[in-house]
Chains A and B, each alone.
Chain A
Amino acid sequence: MTSKLAQGTRRDFLAGAAAIGIAATTGGAGRAASSDAQTEIMKREVPSTREALPAIGLGTWITFNIGSDPKLRAARTDVLRGFVDAGGRMVDSSPMYGTSEEVIGHCLKEMGGARSLFSATKVWTMFEGFGITQMERSMQLWGLERFDLMQIHNLLDWDTHIRTLKAWKAQGRIRYLGITTSHGRRHDDFARIMRNEPLDFVQFTYNILDREAEKRLLPLAAERGQAVIINRPFRTGDLFDRFDKHPLPEWASEFDASNWAQFLLKFVISHPAVTCAIPATSRLDHLKENMSALHGRLPDAKMRERMVRYVESL
């Protein structure tokens, strides 16, 4: 049922995308990107399994932490439905995000489930027992029997939880394991764990102004064969506050960007080591803008340098 619904509205979405001038071609400018034959959605492979994932997912920090307000929950259900309809798969959350996991579970129930969903959450507590209890609670909140990806949030008690995650992966309770950080914190520890542990995924902050990850974490992930999730691709909206008042450069059309969301997301997902960026939004129109970055050409290395020079000049 979800799949049928998704196909129907995806056509509508693509029609809308075409109307605003987005070319439905992928892999432009020399980028290695696979694409779905029907939808032309840009995908990246998870190095450890070769599973292909759409290069844009959905974050839930702040936006899905809305308590039990029925009106707000209905609006978020529309957002999640729009995400799935547009071909999105990865939804990322955390117990730290208040009611976000509960709200995701509610939305999925309202939608009758989403078979294509790639569920990603985190463990965010101390001690083995608390971690297990929290992860089991997350499964209940999402209404799932297993998670696709479980990550250790901000490395909190990581050496304890990684033992549990390895055991859970062996038991099939999770498919992938990973670690996260944000705001550029603890990169030394993060890199050390990336080198020493068998991680499937790593998640950290990267955007057109916060590019520290280019120096070490992104090359290291590529070297170690770890999939990379990028949080805060818009710096929690700050980049729109800075750039929205400025015109998009004409040459943005060379990589099929017609708005700032596409410009900023295409910068992130055009990095060869990035698997998936997870912008968060509470608005369907913004979601559609974000997802439209999955279509068209991507900037090449030279163009990326030009993009950086442009935004730094604003």
Chain B
Amino acid sequence: MLPFSAEALFGQFGQYNSAIWPAPVSAFLLGALALWLLFEPRANSGRIISGILALFWAWNGAVYHLAWFSEINFLAPMFGIFFLAEGAVLLWFGVVRDQYDYRLGRTLADWTGLALVIFALAGYPLLAAQLGHVWPETPFFGVAPCPTTLFTLGVLLMMQPRVNWPASIIPLLWALTGASGAWILDIREDWSLLIAAVLFVPLAIAKNGAALR
């Protein structure tokens, strides 16, 4: 049981998107840059992509969850802390320690990751709009948790040579949390989170297993 209705959630998204505009455009451009770097890796690609992801998770934690969502959901402060923690993981290991390498490989995990990234950037908002959640109520990639999680899971599937589990735990947990919204509030676009999580785990295990051989 959630303490708010879908009507209240999307009503708030409308106010949130209007208040933070043009942040969704900036997020989209940063996402497009990350996508380009996945195809055309550069010397600092790992740091840049990790930095972009860390920025998204920190924004969602501090701005969306703590400043906005907490107004209608008493659990949001806890979600905010988890999102900030994910941002810290990505910042520390990906940017400061430069331990994360992302690029499009040739495994099924990589191609599935690419599909998730493209879906998060374009498919999710289009699907949401098709299902009645039109601007300004559309949850946008980078500034809303669900499409950001889809994007992150996609990018993590393209980590080389192996998928990093510590960086994957919180996005997977949110995928399950967000999917509960699909079930309880009938937000049908969020079934994609459950699909992403269900695909992610076996693909990551298979990719990591192959990398060990």
Contact = CB atoms under 8 A, between A and B. Distances in A.
Interface residues of B, number: 15
A65 interface: yes
Given A67-B8, A69-B8, A98-B73, A62 B3 contact: yes
A242 interface: no
Contacts of A72: 7-8, 11
A66 B5 CA distance: 8
Contact of A65 (B1, B3, B14, B15): B3
B74 interface: yes
A236 to B, nearest CB: 7
B15 A98 contact: no
A99 B11 CA distance: 13
B11 A69 contact: yes
B4 interface: yes
A68 interface: yes
Interface string B1-29: 11111011001101100000000000000
B71 interface: yes
B3 A68 contact: no
A65 B11 contact: no
Contacts of A62: 2-5, 8
Interface string B58-82: 0000000000000111100000000
Contact of B71 (A61, A63, A99, A236): A99
Q: A67, A69, A97, A282: which has the most chain B beta carbons within 10 Å?
A: A67
Contacts of B5: 62-63, 65-66, 282
A98 B7 contact: no
Nearest to B1: A236
B187 to A, nearest CB: 15
A61 B3 contact: yes
A71 interface: yes
A61 B4 CA distance: 8
Chain A to chain B: the 3 pairs with minimum beta-carbon distance, closest first: A69-B11, A98-B72, A66-B8
Given A69-B11, A96-B74, A98-B73, 6 more contacts: A62-B4, A62-B5, A66-B4, A66-B7, A98-B74, A236-B1
Interface of A: 61-63, 65-69, 71-72, 96-99, 236, 282
25 contacts: A62-B2, A62-B4, A62-B5, A65-B3, A65-B4, A65-B5, A65-B8, A65-B72, A66-B4, A66-B11, A66-B72, A67-B8, A67-B11, A67-B72, A68-B15, A68-B71, A69-B11, A69-B15, A72-B8, A97-B3, A98-B4, A98-B73, A98-B74, A99-B72, A236-B1
